Homo-oligomer: A and B are copies of this chain.
């Protein structure tokens, strides 16, 4: 078992994907925020204006998808053909799902994970004045396309 981004000398490299064929690729990643009660109440209280909390996080996530190869040093730049960020409640957890598509030579797992993470960070930013004890976890939900085929969590 070895690391694809590390050459034989143990040095980081952006691996050569010149010869790989372009295929349709898709990935979904999820961030789940564990929110203290006061934050849940504020986000769910209909009397508090907050229309833009999730809308702002959605835009931040979509823009982060496009910045992925700038943030993750060994990621290849990719022409993203779709990016979407959705929000759902699972009891007191806010569940963010980021879906990304491309037609290219590498997958879009990192793009989806980056989008979900930055959307979660943006929710944190907008709620941190209420309670700084917000936490979130991040994971890949699924990917399809490419030589390594499909994957589901």
Contact = CB atoms under 8 A, between A and B. Distances in A.
**Interface of A: prevailing SS:** mixed
Contacts of A69: 66
A49 B6 contact: yes
A7 B13 CA distance: 24
Contacts of A62: 12-14, 73-74
Contact of A63 (B70, B83, B117): B70
A60 to B, nearest CB: 5
Contacts of A136: 137-139
Interface residues of A, number: 91
A74 to B, nearest CB: 6
Contact of A18 (B51, B70, B103, B148): B103
Interface of A: 1-18, 24, 38, 41-42, 45, 48-53, 55-56, 58-60, 62-67, 69-84, 86, 101-105, 109-110, 113-114, 117-118, 120-122, 124-130, 132-140, 143, 148, 151, 153
